[in-house]
């Protein structure tokens, strides 16, 4: 259960929680033990005495100890082997043990204190109500039994609150250690509900405890007054030194002025035969107390443990024999419990409403801040609004801090938007730098072809000039020369158009974002520019780009063609690099229409990428190229497609199998 260290024994967190419960419950028990029998007005002489053993079998201390040990053991076993089992295993065998999932541990940590809090209130109440066969809890289930149960539950509620607070505080260390992502549990509670759950039982327990103590003191005072009254009445009407006739005794007892209608008298003869005025027999406890303890307490008699009924007994002589006469009187009426319960229900309703209303107010104020933070998180800065300060406490300070953070965040977002164009421009120019090497190659071939055509035209011009005065040259020869010149001019035109396309494509990648216009372009025009700009890089790498057209080439796409070309070229470059210099490989560029969207897929069969890279690919600037990569390309590509085309980019990749990027654009 423990780790031995140089400094001594180390306690795991779950052990600290269990220990804190045992300590707090022990303190509550130590406070309750000497006070409970006084609060409940147990009859004097019946606590931890032979009288109690004879009547109930166990003393007050024994009963209390059994209850304490039983309930403590019950909760310790439940905590260790049920509630905190996963936490115990996780702490003992280490957080890297795959058998215990971190999320399950966090769920237990976040929900266990509340579960245990409720059980500490419910289980003791059930256990005490059912009873353990002890006089303290098994006697008549009337006001006394309910009072005992309420007193115990109040104590358990106080202890539950203490252990709840300590356990949550102790679990913080593990919650911090296991924190990995910003998300709540699937089922999470609300602040108002938690406050109601914590405060209401505590308030009600405090209220009941106060009522019980106050009621106990009032009963004690009233009991003394009634006892003194009847003592005076019987002392006035009967003299211990005079022998009375039995009929005279009954006559005098019938003329006693009772305080309450429920009061009654009793007469006990020398043979212990009992006569009562209401024909209701005296309880065994009452009789036992009369015969064994009443003389020690000046004739005062008690009905039972925690029962608010008492009596007074006096010895007299009747016809030469020793008789006992007395009064049996309840101190509180039968409706006392009804009034207590009614008052409790009313106060419970009022307190519940006030706690709910106040906690809901706090919860709504915090919810405003949460909504504001969610707006910041979604970059919905157009809806940024300052939260009004409606309290002069920590929540007010939190609101002030939030408003300041919101202002700063809004400023930063605006600055990021301002810098985004600059970043994209730099990325565009960086891509352009990669194209420079291919520009010379792309233009060299058509320039040489044009130069050759010019030489051919020059030869034809010389030939034509020399043939003007030659009588042997006929009209057909002139037509043949013109035909050859036309052929050379057509070749020059073809090469110049190609050069124009190259210049246009390169120029499109060189323009600044500030010159970007919302225009429309065709799918065919897009693929033409991609093919021109990637031709040299593909040729050098000896990689084949296989274009599969499954959509109409004349389909129109709204946006800046240069930005989309840059995104696609960046993905093709990544696909080339995925082969690690291995030649004679293929990259598939698939264009197809899916419902009202155009899907452009770039697929390679290279090394693929790890899952942790794939999960972060579009969320942050991350690269798999080591020091040679900036991580800006795909991050900015995603931003470009989302912001300027209202589209999306997804990726599928498996290590050793390849990667597929899919750009989805609305048509």
Residues 6+ apart with CB under 8 A from 205: 153, 154, 157, 158
How far the first Cα of the chain sits from its last, in Å, is 66
Determine the pLDDT at residue 368.
Answer: 75
Determine the pLDDT at residue 629.
Answer: 41
Residues of the chain with CATH 3.30.450: 222-337
H or E segment and range at residue 558: strand 556-559
SS3 of 419, please? helix
Q: What are the backbone angles phi and psi of residue 263, rounded to the nearest 5°?
A: -70, 150
Long-range pairs of 362-366 with CB within 8 A, sequence gap ≥ 24: 362/191, 362/192, 362/195, 362/395, 363/190, 363/191, 363/192, 365/390, 365/391, 365/395, 365/399, 366/191, 366/395
Alpha helices in 542-649 (DSSP H): 561-578, 611-616, 632-644
Task: Tell me which residue has tokens 């990726």.
Answer: 651
Question: In terms of Cα–Cα distance, which of 113, 111, 90, 110 is closest to 101?
Answer: 90
Determine the pLDDT at residue 99.
Answer: 46
Give the count of beta carbons closer than 10 Å to the beta carbon of residue 231. Answer: 17
Residues 6+ apart with CB under 8 A from 306: 40, 41, 42, 139, 144, 145, 147, 148
Give the count of beta carbons closer than 10 Å to the beta carbon of residue 171. Answer: 22
DSSP 40: T
Task: Tell me which residue has tokens 């100890």.
Answer: 65
CATH architecture for segment(s) 423-666: 2-Layer Sandwich (3.30)
d(CA 572, CA 650): 15
Task: Tell me which residue has tokens 């990637």.
Answer: 534
d(CA 431, CA 530): 13
SS3 of 241, please? coil
Determine the pLDDT at residue 564.
Answer: 87
> 579: alpha, beta or left, given left = phi > 0 and alpha = psi -120 to 50?
alpha
- Cβ atoms of 336 and 266 closer than 8 Å: no
d(CA 619, CA 63): 65
d(CA 482, CA 393): 96
Residues of the chain with CATH 3.30.565.10: 423-666
CA torsion angle 17 20 26 29 (round to 10): -80
Residues 6+ apart with CB under 8 A from 170: 13, 16, 17, 20
d(CA 430, CA 30): 77
Can you read off the two tokens belonging to residue 546? 């296989």
Can you read off the two tokens belonging to residue 557? 């796409």
Task: Tell me which residue has tokens 């309880």.
Answer: 283
User: In the CATH hierarchy, which fold is given to the domain comprising 222-337?
Assistant: Beta-Lactamase (3.30.450)
- Cβ atoms of 215 and 340 closer than 8 Å: yes
Q: What are the b/e assignments for 247-261, b being 16+ CB within 10 Å? A: eebbebbeebeeeee
d(CA 504, CA 496): 12
HSE at residue 47, side-chain half, CA atoms within 13 A, is 15
Can you read off the two tokens belonging to residue 44? 């004097």
Q: Name the pairing type of β-strands 519-522 and 543-550.
A: unpaired
Question: In terms of Cα–Cα distance, which of 81, 69, 54, 78 is closest to 132?
Answer: 69
d(CA 107, CA 117): 16
Alpha carbon separation from 206 to 24, 189, 202, 241, 254 (Å, rounded) = 17, 25, 6, 53, 45
Give the count of beta carbons closer than 10 Å to the beta carbon of residue 350. Answer: 10
Mean pLDDT by 10 residues, the chain (667 residues): 44 83 87 86 91 87 88 85 77 58 75 78 65 42 59 78 79 73 54 66 74 80 93 91 90 90 92 92 93 94 87 93 94 65 72 72 73 65 64 69 75 67 62 58 69 77 76 77 81 75 64 55 88 82 91 88 84 88 91 90 89 70 46 70 85 88 90
Determine the pLDDT at residue 426.
Answer: 64
- Cβ atoms of 275 and 267 closer than 8 Å: yes
d(CA 493, CA 490): 5
Q: Name the pairing type of β-strands 309-318 and 321-330.
A: antiparallel
d(CA 138, CA 307): 13
- Cβ atoms of 113 and 175 closer than 8 Å: no
Burial class of residue 367 in the structure, from the number of CB atoms within 10 Å of its CB (0-12 exposed, 13-18 middle, 19+ buried)? middle
Alpha carbon separation from 517 to 562, 598, 638, 650 (Å, rounded) = 10, 21, 19, 26
Q: What is the 3-state secondary structure (H, E, C) of 579-594?
A: CCCCCCEEEEEEEEEE
Burial class of residue 144 in the structure, from the number of CB atoms within 10 Å of its CB (0-12 exposed, 13-18 middle, 19+ buried)? buried
Q: What angle do CA 176, 182, 187 make, to 5 degrees?
A: 95
d(CA 522, CA 552): 9
Model pTM score: 0.54
Secondary structure (DSSP) of 377-391:
HTT-GGG--PPPP--
């Amino acid at each position: 259960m423990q780790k031995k260290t140089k400094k001594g024994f180390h306690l795991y967190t779950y052990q600290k929680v269990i220990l804190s419960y045992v300590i707090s419950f022990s303190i509550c028990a130590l406070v309750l033990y000497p006070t409970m029998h006084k609060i409940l007005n147990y009859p004097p002489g019946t606590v931890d005495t032979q009288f109690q053993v004879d009547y109930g079998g166990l003393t007050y201390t024994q009963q209390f100890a059994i209850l304490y040990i039983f309930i403590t053991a019950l909760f310790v076993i439940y905590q260790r082997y049920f509630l905190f089992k996963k936490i115990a295993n996780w702490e003992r065998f280490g957080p890297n043990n795959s058998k215990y999932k971190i999320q399950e541990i966090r769920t237990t940590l976040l929900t266990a204190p509340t579960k245990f809090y409720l059980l500490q209130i419910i289980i003791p109440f059930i256990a005490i109500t059912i009873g353990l066969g002890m006089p303290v809890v098994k006697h008549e289930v009337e006001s006394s039994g309910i009072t005992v149960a309420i007193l115990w539950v109040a104590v358990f509620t106080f202890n539950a609150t203490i252990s709840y607070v300590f356990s949550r505080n102790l679990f913080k260390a593990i919650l911090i250690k296991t924190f990995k992502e910003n998300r709540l549990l699937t089922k999470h509670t609300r602040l108002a509900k938690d406050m109601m759950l914590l405060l209401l039982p505590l308030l009600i327990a405090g209220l009941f405890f106060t009522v019980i103590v106050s009621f106990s003191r009032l009963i004690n005072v009233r009991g003394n007054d009634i006892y003194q009254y009847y003592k005076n009445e019987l002392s006035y009407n009967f003299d211990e030194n005079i022998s009375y006739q039995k009929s005279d005794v009954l006559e005098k007892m019938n003329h006693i002025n009772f305080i309450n209608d429920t009061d009654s008298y009793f007469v006990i003869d020398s043979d212990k035969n009992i006569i009562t005025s209401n024909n209701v027999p005296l309880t065994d406890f009452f009789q036992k107390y009369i015969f064994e303890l009443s003389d020690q307490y000046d004739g005062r008699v008690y009905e039972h443990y925690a029962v608010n009924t008492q009596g007074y007994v006096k010895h007299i002589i009747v016809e030469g024999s020793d008789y006992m006469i007395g009064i049996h009187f309840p101190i509180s009426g039968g409706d006392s419990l009804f009034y207590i319960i009614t008052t409790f229900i009313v106060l419970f309703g009022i307190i519940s409403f006030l706690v709910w209303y106040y906690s809901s107010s706090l919860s709504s104020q915090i919810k405003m801040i949460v909504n504001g933070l969610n707006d910041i998180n979604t970059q919905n800065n157009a809806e940024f609004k300052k939260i009004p300060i409606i309290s002069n406490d920590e929540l007010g300070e939190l609101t002030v801090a939030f408003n300041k953070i919101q202002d700063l965040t809004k400023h930063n977002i605006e600055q990021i938007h301002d810098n985004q164009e600059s970043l994209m421009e730099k990325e565009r120019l960086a891509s352009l730098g990669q194209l420079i090497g291919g520009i010379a190659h792309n233009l060299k071939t058509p320039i040489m072809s044009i130069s050759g055509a010019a030489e051919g035209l020059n030869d034809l011009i010389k030939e034509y000039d020399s043939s003007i005065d030659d009588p042997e040259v006929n009209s057909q020869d002139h037509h043949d020369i013109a035909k050859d010149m036309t052929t050379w001019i057509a070749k020059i035109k073809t090469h110049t158009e190609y050069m124009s396309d190259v210049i246009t494509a390169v120029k499109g990648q060189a323009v600044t974002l500030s010159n970007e216009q919302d225009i429309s372009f065709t799918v065919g025009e897009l693929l033409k520019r991609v093919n021109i700009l990637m031709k040299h890089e593909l040729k050098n790498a000896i990689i084949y780009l296989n274009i599969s057209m499954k959509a109409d080439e004349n389909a129109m796409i709204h946006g800046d063609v240069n930005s989309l070309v840059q995104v696609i070229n960046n993905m093709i470059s990544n696909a080339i690099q995925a082969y690690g210099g291995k030649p004679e490989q293929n990259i598939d560029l698939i264009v197809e229409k899916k419902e009202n969207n155009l899907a452009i897929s770039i697929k390679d069969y290279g090394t693929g990428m790890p899952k942790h890279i794939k999960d972060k690919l579009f969320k942050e600037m991350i690269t798999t190229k080591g020091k040679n990569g900036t991580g800006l390309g795909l991050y900015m590509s995603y931003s470009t497609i989302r912001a300027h085309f209202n589209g999306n980019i997804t990726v599928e990749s498996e290590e050793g199998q390849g990667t597929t990027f899919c750009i989805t654009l609305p048509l």
